[in-house]
Each structure stands twice: as C-alpha cells, then as structure tokens.
Amino acid sequence: MTNQPDRDDAGRVDSFGERQADTLLRIAAERAFDQLDPSDPRNASFFAWYAREARERQTPAERRATKELARVFAARMVRRWQVEALGVREGDGEPRIQRAPVAATIRNAVELATPKAKAPCVDMAVAAGAGRALWDEECTEWVDVPADLPPGKHLALRVSGESMTPFLHDGDTVLVKIGTELKPGSVVVARRPDDGYVVKRVGQLRRRSVELVSLNPEYEPILLPRDPRLLLGTVVLRWCTHAAPG
Amino acid sequence: MEAPRLPQSDHDAVESWSAVDDAALIAGMRRGLEAAIVEFVDRYTPMLIGIARRRGLRGGNLITAVMDFLDSAAMRLAVEASRVPDPLPPWLVVSFRHRLRDDWRAERRRQARELLIATDIGRGTQRVVAESCSEYAIRLTEGTDGPDPTEGAATWQVLREALAIALDKGVSEGERQLLGYLADRMPQREIADILGITHGNARVRILRLRARLVQLARAHVNSLPVADGITLARFLERPPRRTVRDAEHARLPDHGPARAQSRQSARNPDDAGDRGSTHD
C-alpha cells in the first residue's frame, strides 16, 4: 500500500483516504464475520484471515496487554496440563531428603519407609545399570511423601537425561507410585531389558506391547513387551527446580 | 521445498512459533510447551475479544469471558487425543459463540432468580400454583373468598392445601420459577427473554409444565381416601368460575384472553352471569 493520498482528475486530494477505507473494511469484515457461517468450509479462509487481521490491527498497547495475558495464561496452563494430561502433581519446592535410618536394599527400604510416610530415594543414573534390578540397589536416602497423596508404596527417583523435557529435566526428582497399572497418557517408569530404567509417557497400548514416548521429539518412541515385571510404577509427583521459561 | 524447522522446546524463542501452522502449534501444546501455548493465546485472543465486544461485553467481563473460554478450549486441545479441528479458527468462533450464549443465558437465569427472590413471588406457593396452573387451579384460590356452600368449607380448604403442597413437591426449582412468572401473568415472550430461550421453547416448557401439574394433581387425587378423592375430583372437574380478578381483567382495555372472554360474554349474556354461580 502506498502512503500517497489518492487524487482525483483535478489534482485534489481525495478525502476518502486509506484510513477511511480501512475503517470501512473493518466494519464490513465485522459484519461479514457475524453473518458468515463458520461451519461452512467455504468460509474457513475468511476466518483464518480475520484472525490474522485482528492480531495485526492491535495497537501497541493492546499488543503488549495480549502478550502479558498470554504469558500468565501459559504459565498457569502448563501446571494444569501436567495434572490433567499427565496426572502428575507439582511438588512444593525441593524434596525433603534425609539420610535413611538403616541401610537396606530398595526392596526392603520401601517396606520400611511406607508406614512412616516416606519413600526411598535413588539416582536413576546409578540404579539404571544394565543387568541389575533396581530392587537390589542399596538405598541411603529417604524423602518425605506429601500427606495428601493417595496411600500406596512410593519410590523417589532422580531423573537423568533430557528425553522428557520440558516436563522433566536432568536432576529433577519424581515420586513413583509402585504398581503395574498402565493408563494412556500417564508417565511411567519402566525397565528396558538392555538399557535399564526409563521415564516415559504411555502412548498406544497394544495387546502384546506398549508404546512409550518421550516428550522431547528428538527421541524416538520405544516399544516394550506388555510384561508387568518391566513396569516399576506411575509418576504421581515431580519436584522441578528449573525456573519456568518466559 | 524444504519444510521449515519446527520449534522443539521452550528454549526456542516464542517468535519462532508464530511461523508454524495450527496443527504444529497444537502438537506443541500437547507436549506441554509453554511457548506454544503463549503463541496460541497471542494468535487468537484478538479475534475472540472482537467477538465478545460485538456481543456487548466490556472491560473485565470481556477479558474474563475470553480467558475462561481459552482456558477450556486450550486445555481441550492440549489434553484430548482427538483429531485437531481443521481449520481451527472457525471451530474457535463457533465454540466461543456457544459459550457466550450459554453464559448470557446463565446470567439471565441468575438475574431472574434474584428478582424472584427479591419480589418474593415464590413465597406463596399455593397462590403461584393456583394462579398459573390452569382454570381449575384458579378455583382453588377462591376458598377464602367464598367457599362452596354445597361442600364443607373446612374439608375442601384442607384438600386444597394438600393439593397445593403435592403440586409444589412435584415441581423442580426451574418450574417453580416459571410458575412465578405465569403467576405474574407475564407474556410468554417476556418469559422467553428472561430465561434466555426462544419463544417457541418457552411455550413448550409452559405446555409441559401444565401437563405435569395435571399429572401430579391426578396422582394426588388417586392417593387420597375414596371420599376425599371424589370430592376433590368433582371440584377439579367443574367448569371454572369467574373470579373477581378475571372480571377486573375483562374490564381492562387490553388484548388477551380476558378481553376475548369479555367479548364472548357480551355475545352470550346468559353465559356471562352464569359462570360464577354454576354448581354441580
């Protein structure tokens, strides 16, 4: 569009300039917007155009307000998404880690800690060594289990790797409810026979296998046989020390 | 042509999301990426604000309506594994319009309920039921004015109250509200407007309510001892008498049933004087 005003044959500036035309266009668009049927596929391109126009026509102040609104909204929604889509709660601050009162294998530590509303804590990078079951690892730390969690046996794991970013980062701690329940969309800890333990989201459930997907698209989904012995449990809570981006 | 690289994480700038299409944006939201959600809100909020503004919303109400809708729509898109609506903008427009209409209706209902409480129309349930149920229910209100000499006044007064209680127990809160309006002789169009429904819909609700009250009355009559049941049934089956209120309405220079009735009475003068004193 040119910034030069239109002129008639006599060289006079046409009073019906671009700004007025824009106003008329907006009025016509709004009228059309209210009259057009959104469910008609022929009008789809109009509504896409209208959405773009509405965004571009914002004043700088409106644009700033929308950005701020979007930022606040997104931060709140991510927390809700974790609970509703993944079924994982956010832990308060950092996990309260303490030294285990007795040295025991994880198998025994779970039994000892559960009545005291605590869970053994273990580093996945250490525990996930190929060939060894997690249950035989020595456990030296316990964490407090929040009182408002449903009862059950829990195990805290310190995550290593970036396959579940942005939900889980290297060094985050997750609380796993020990069990063999598999729910699509939930986050589980499973044992890969060759690689040790992994934290993944449950994808498709098939009769003989289960698809485990990473939230980070750079990691390929993996298929595991549907064997309860390979499943450690479901992640119910995470402690994330990373600052929320944005 | 090489496909543009999609942003992979929140570490990618929010600006890079502005170039992606809706399907990729929702895929990002389904991975819980905050930057994708920011872009979604930034992309569609101005359009939704425009719709809300043209529906008459302003200020805080406008922002609340848009944010509430985005909250549910974005969560639905991000959580459900269903197919992504394609194209997305018309889907948002339709959903948001429905939401605004629902909100408007809920607000009108709330206002109507408050008005009902404030004016205390609902207090006298017997009066409400009697004045709105049907012609024979109108008879029920006449007890205090002039009990039927052929029946024991005390007996049918008790029966009348028991019937009113039975009817009241059988209606829902919404139906009671509707009865309040009918008791106020509010036109159907106004009722429809207050309830936020169409005129036809209001008419159907009133017809159903009448049918329901008749059904409740029948059930109540059947539940009474035989003698009382017969007395009440006879009372209900009698042709209606004209009340003082009807006579006042007939004199009013107004259109409607009362005037039609007065015209009818003028054509049949015998009938006009007879209705009030006819007994079985």
Say whether pLDDT at B270 is over 50.
no
For residue A245, the distance in angstroms to the closest alpha carbon of chain B comes to 7
Average pLDDT, chain B: 70
Would you call A78 an interface residue with chain B, using a CB distance cutoff of 8 Å?
yes
Tokens of B166: 């039975």
A116: nearest Cα among A143, A87, A85, A156: A143
CB A233 within 8 A of CB A166: no
Interface of A with B in 186-215 (CB under 8 A): 215
For residue A68, the distance in angstroms to the closest alpha carbon of chain B comes to 9
Say whether pLDDT at B266 is over 70.
no
CA-nearest residue to A56 within chain B is: B46
**pLDDT for residue B260:** 42
For residue B256, the distance in angstroms to the closest alpha carbon of chain A comes to 36
Provide ipTM, 2 decimals. 0.72
A66/B41 CB distance under 8 A: yes
**pLDDT for residue B214:** 73
**What's the whole-number mean pLDDT along residues B152-176?**
71
Dihedral, CA of residue B175, residue B178, residue B180 and residue B183, to nearest 10: -120
For residue A74, the distance in angstroms to the closest alpha carbon of chain B comes to 5
Give B129-155 as a DSSP string.
Answer: HHHHS-HHHHHHGGGTT---TTS-HHH
When pLDDT is cut at 50, 70 and 90, the band that residue A125 belongs to is: low
Residues in A touching B37 (Cβ below 8 Å): 70, 73-74, 77-78
When pLDDT is cut at 50, 70 and 90, the band that residue B2 belongs to is: very low
CA-nearest residue to B96 within chain A is: A38
Lowest mean pLDDT, pick from A215-219, B109-113, B129-133: B129-133
Say whether pLDDT at B152 is over 60.
no
Nearest-angstrom CA–CA distance, B218 and A184: 53
CB B241 within 8 A of CB B276: yes
**What's the whole-number mean pLDDT along residues B250-262?**
43
For residue A14, the distance in angstroms to the closest alpha carbon of chain B comes to 30
CA-nearest residue to A48 within chain B is: B89
Say whether pLDDT at A219 is over 80.
yes
Residues in A touching B75 (Cβ below 8 Å): 77, 80-81, 84
Residue the block writes with tokens 């009030």: B276
**pLDDT for residue B53:** 86
Say whether pLDDT at B148 is over 80.
no
For residue A53, the distance in angstroms to the closest alpha carbon of chain B comes to 8
B270 or A244, which is more confident: A244
CB B223 within 8 A of CB B233: no
CB B162 within 8 A of CB B149: no
**pLDDT for residue B253:** 45
A66 → closest Cβ in B42, B90, B91: B42
B70 or A103, which is more confident: B70
B35/A33 CB distance under 8 A: no
Lowest mean pLDDT, pick from A97-111, A202-216, B39-53, B108-122: B108-122
**What's the whole-number mean pLDDT along residues B223-232?**
76
Lowest mean pLDDT, pick from A55-64, A115-124, B52-61, B77-86: B77-86
Average pLDDT, chain A: 81
Q: What is the per-residue pLDDT across B197-220, written as a single tens digit (0 to 9) for each?
A: 888 998 888 888 777 777 777 777
A85/B54 CB distance under 8 A: no
When pLDDT is cut at 50, 70 and 90, the band that residue A103 belongs to is: confident
Would you call A16 an interface residue with chain B, using a CB distance cutoff of 8 Å?
no
For chain B, list residues whose CB is within 8 angstroms of any CB belonging to chain A: 8-11, 14, 29-35, 37-47, 49-51, 54, 63, 67, 70-71, 74-75, 78-79, 81, 87, 89-91, 93-94
Say whether pLDDT at A64 is over 90.
yes
B46 → closest Cβ in A55, A80, A85: A55
Say whether pLDDT at A14 is over 50.
no
Say whether pLDDT at A15 is over 80.
no
Say whether pLDDT at B159 is over 50.
yes
What separation in angstroms does the CA of B170 have from each of B139, B191, B221, B226?
20, 21, 14, 22
**What's the whole-number mean pLDDT along residues B235-262?**
47
